[in-house]
Chains A and B, each alone.
Chain A
Amino acid sequence: MSDGPVAQSGGGVIDAPGAPVLDVDPGIKTASSPKIAPWEERFTSYDVEAFEVPRGREEQWRFTPLRRLHGLHDGSAAADGEVAVSVHSGFGDSATEDLGGVRVEHVERGDSRLGDGGIPADRVAAQAWSSFPTATVVTVNEARSDDEPLTVTVEGPGVGKTAYVHLQVRLEHHAEAVVVLDHRGSGTVAANTELVVADGAKLEIVEVHDWADDAVYVGAQHLSVGRDATIRHTSITLGGDLVRLSPVVNYRAPGGDVELDGLYFADGGQHFEQRLLVDHSVPNCRSNVMYKGALQGADGDKAAHTVWIGDVLIRKEAEATETYELNRNLLLTDNARADSVPNLEIETGEIVSAGHASATGRFDDEQLFYLMARGIPEEQARRLVVRGFFGEVINKVRVPALRDRLEAAVEAELEAVGS
């Protein structure tokens, strides 16, 4: 244990109600700095062969241990397994197969709706697009109540097997739904997940990656936000050998409101990577990003490694944007490495506010001291602090049974290291 944060990668806030931004934090990129490529300037294609095979030096891939992808990136991973996708109403013990007005379809490649969310921007996503057997489309065209979450379970193909997945969750105009996307099991999986939220609709989705130790999952999440639509996307990564998630937010019209929350807890040897792009391409949209990670690699084990890239682009035409992004990492042991790269690029001064912060640190001794000075034993004090650290993410999850499960999972992780 040592004091305070050990790494601090700048932070800053710009508040500019109506006024041009003059004073820009050095950590916030202005036009003269290297650019975050706007979405349409990024190379995108449904065709895997249109992408070069990554070698590991590319910006997109430089953090990812390609050898552990079992060939997802170079075309050598033949689809020899299948992923089971099932949809229920309710979550956990209360789940039923009666879906009410929700429509679940299994469609072929070429269905006109596929791609409404976005287009693959890396080779693995394109591979998944080229290789999935059928796509699952879940359509909601009603306002469902909070206590009736939809649960979509994705079960891996099994040890040593590879499968490709395509999933689309569609909310029609003014529809509302809480959705749990529950990933589990073994094997190697590449996936595209489209979240298509029409005008005035509200999607609250919790994507859980609770894979078995052998599993490799590389997924692209395409979030398409209609006029005055709301998405709250919570991304939870607890298990797997390697999990790499690339959510992209595309605002289709003004008034979109997106929250991206995340929680990851990496043990020794695990590689958890999150690459976010929020592309403010239209006026009057809001985004708020809060990802929190904990890492604990035991001595003598391979290091726990997490990567968080948060690209937020405010384009010239995206006036009155309001955005904030935060990534915090807690290093519970020495044998851990957290890379955290927030990038905020602003091409217009006519914004409401924009800010970012990133901090990676060891356990805060002052907090521990304060709790212990009130008689609370060290182990319990640590658990309180870690639970508190993740509480901001977990408490926002509106499915009580899932909240309980996540809390229990965090406890179990903490027990596992036994400190």
Chain B
Amino acid sequence: MSTLEIRDLHVEVETESGPKEILRGVDLTVNSNETHAIMGPNGSGKSTLAYSIAGHPKYTVTRGEVLLDGENVLEMAVDERARAGLFLAMQYPVEVPGVSMSNFLRSAATATRGEAPKVRHWVKEVKTAMTDLEIDPSFAERSVNEGFSGGEKKRHEVLQLALLKPKFAVLDETDSGLDVDALRVVSKGVNDYKAQSDVGVLLITHYTRILRYIAPDRVHVFVNGRVAESGGPELAEELEANGYERFTTAKEEQPA
């Protein structure tokens, strides 16, 4: 049993007109075997939350904590966080020209597992995972994400999830830009990993569509840099029907 705790997290970014606060006190606790959906309008700070957990250098934490089983994640370097069991499936995966997918996956698996996987097992493992995600084997020799379509990039993010086996996975809009078939494949990939592990999932999304495939235990409405309301799956249904209006209007009534 593991716990990822986010407490009173405040984060700012540097802009041309000085620092700008984006996260304004996020509180959230995810346990193993739980799936939490974070839903919010564009620009509400969802990706900022994801990047801050992963340790992107662009985001500065000014207050608050992120604890993984009581350990302060914010003191860890980016690679240490990943090795401690955190995984971020990015909204916009980065292209790394000249580094082959297979070399990258093997380097990542070696790092997170603490030793190089045995070649024979590894080849099989990658092949199976790629087949499950309906990824053509030829991708293994292509440069990381280079020239991949949006959907292909997302499949490869989930491929990495399956191979790196984190304790907690933050999936940032893994559903956006996917057609129905791709959404089904990607969701199945996430569900398969959930079934064979104790992973806790933070599923960031703008739309309720993916929640039909990946069932959340908890739903959090994220507005203006913080969690505005939390509830069970029924909250997603309300959002489906009424959108974010109730929350964004409520925000305006309160003087910030």
Binding site for B on A (CB under 8 A): 365-367, 369-378, 380-381, 384-385, 387-392
Contacts and interface: CB of A to CB of B under 8 A. Distances in A.
B79 interface: yes
Given A384-B107, A388-B143, A372 B77 contact: yes
B164 interface: yes
A374 B93 CA distance: 12
Given A372-B77, A375-B112, A384 B82 contact: no
A366 B79 contact: no
A384 B103 contact: yes
A389 B98 contact: yes
A408 to B, nearest CB: 17
Given A377-B111, A384-B107, A371 B98 contact: no
Interface in B53-71: 54-57
Contact of A369 (B57, B98, B104): B57
Interface in B135-164: 143-144, 160, 164
B83 interface: yes
14 contacts: A366-B94, A367-B95, A370-B94, A371-B96, A371-B108, A372-B82, A373-B90, A376-B107, A377-B79, A377-B111, A381-B79, A387-B99, A388-B96, A389-B97
Contacts of B178: none
B78 interface: yes
Q: Nearest 3 CB-CB pairs, A to B?
A: A388-B98, A391-B98, A375-B111
Contacts of B108: 371, 374-376
A410 to B, nearest CB: 12
B112 A369 contact: no
A197 B103 CA distance: 38
B201 interface: no
A367 B54 contact: no
Contact of B98 (A372, A376, A377, A390): A390
B56 A374 contact: no
B97 A376 contact: no
Contacts of B98: 385, 387-392
B223 interface: no
A387 B82 CA distance: 23
Interface residues of B, number: 29
B4 to A, nearest CB: 16
A365 B111 CA distance: 20
B88 interface: yes
A378 B81 CA distance: 13
Given A375-B82, A380-B111, A387-B98, 15 more contacts: A370-B90, A370-B93, A371-B96, A372-B77, A372-B79, A373-B54, A373-B55, A374-B112, A374-B160, A377-B111, A380-B107, A384-B99, A384-B104, A388-B98, A392-B98
Given A377-B79, A377-B111, A370 B164 contact: no
Contacts of B94: 366-367, 369-370
Interface of B: 54-57, 77-79, 81-83, 88, 90, 93-99, 103-104, 107-108, 111-112, 143-144, 160, 164
B96 A374 contact: no
B162 to A, nearest CB: 13
A403 to B, nearest CB: 14
Contacts of B96: 367, 370-371, 384-385, 388
Nearest to B89: A373
Nearest to B166: A375
A376 B82 CA distance: 8
B138 to A, nearest CB: 16
B90 A374 contact: no
A367 B77 CA distance: 15
Contacts of A375: 79, 82-83, 108, 111-112, 164
A365 B94 CA distance: 10
A325 to B, nearest CB: 17
A251 to B, nearest CB: 30
Nearest to A380: B107
Nearest to A292: B98
A367 B81 CA distance: 17
A373 B92 CA distance: 13
B63 to A, nearest CB: 23
A372 B82 CA distance: 8
Contacts of A371: 96, 99, 104, 107-108
Given A365-B57, A369-B57, A378 B79 contact: yes
A371 B99 CA distance: 10
Contact of A388 (B54, B77, B99, B160): B99
Contacts of B78: 369, 372-373
Given A374-B111, A377-B111, A388 B97 contact: yes
Contacts of B164: 374-375
Contacts of A388: 96-99, 143
Contacts of A374: 82, 104, 107-108, 111-112, 160, 164
